[in-house]
């Protein structure tokens, strides 16, 4: 069972885990052992609340395909057990990230004092730069 929050728990039967061979360098074991984990989770067929489903499917994430499945490939570690835990943890973090509703930004304007200070600083910088110019000689 994968615990998402106090009220939301996913059963192991909803998550499909497959062992596959890892990519990349790894010596002799890489060609013999299936240590990487391929995790598949069907969002639409899951027991997640509709709030989670809608927010997950609205995400612009490469791990979510057009059929509404989350596909995670974990091959960070050398052992299958560690990769399995890594894949489940990544799925958990992805689902939990959707649960947080982002704060609504309130547009603000700079104060009069801030505007005045900004303009004074710009004038000061302009004076400094004008002093860098070569002097014009009147002969």
Q: For residue 39, give Cα distances in angstroms to 18, 25, 44, 111.
A: 6, 22, 16, 52
- Tell whether pTM > 0.85: no
Task: State how far the Cα of 91 lies from the Cα of 134, in Å rounded to an integer.
Answer: 64
User: What's the pLDDT at 123?
Assistant: 97
Which range in 32-36, 85-89, 95-99, 131-135 is most confidently predicted, on average pLDDT? 85-89
CA distance 131 to 137: 15
Mean pLDDT in residue range 86-106: 89
Rounded Cα gap, residues 70 and 48, in angstroms: 13
The Cα–Cα gap between 75 and 96 comes to: 22
pLDDT digits (tens, 9 = 90+) for 29-82: 666 778 888 999 988 888 888 888 888 888 888 888 888 888 999 988 888 899
Q: Is the pLDDT of residue 100 over 80?
A: yes
CA pair distance 43, 46, nearest whole angstrom: 5
Confidence of residue 90 (pLDDT cuts 50, 70, 90): very high
Residue 127: predicted pLDDT = 93
CB 32 within 8 A of CB 3: no
2: tokens are 């994968």
Architecture of domain 2-99: 2-Layer Sandwich (3.30)
Domain range summary for the chain, segments of one domain joined by +? 2-99
Mean pLDDT of 97-113: 90
């Amino acid at each position: 069972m994968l615990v998402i929050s106090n009220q939301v728990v996913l059963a192991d039967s909803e998550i499909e885990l497959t062992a596959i061979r890892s990519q990349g360098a790894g010596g002799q074991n890489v060609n013999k052992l299936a240590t990487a984990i391929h995790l598949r989770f069907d969002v639409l067929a899951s027991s997640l609340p509709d709030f989670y489903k809608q927010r997950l499917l609205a995400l612009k994430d490469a791990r979510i395909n057009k059929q509404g499945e989350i596909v995670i490939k974990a091959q960070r570690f050398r052992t299958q057990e560690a990769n399995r835990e890594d894949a489940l943890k990544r799925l958990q973090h992805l689902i939990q990230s959707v649960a947080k509703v982002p704060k609504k930004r309130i547009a603000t304007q700079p104060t009069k004092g801030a505007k005045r200070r900004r303009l004074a600083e710009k004038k000061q910088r302009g004076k400094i730069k004008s002093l860098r110019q070569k002097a014009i000689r009147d002969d």
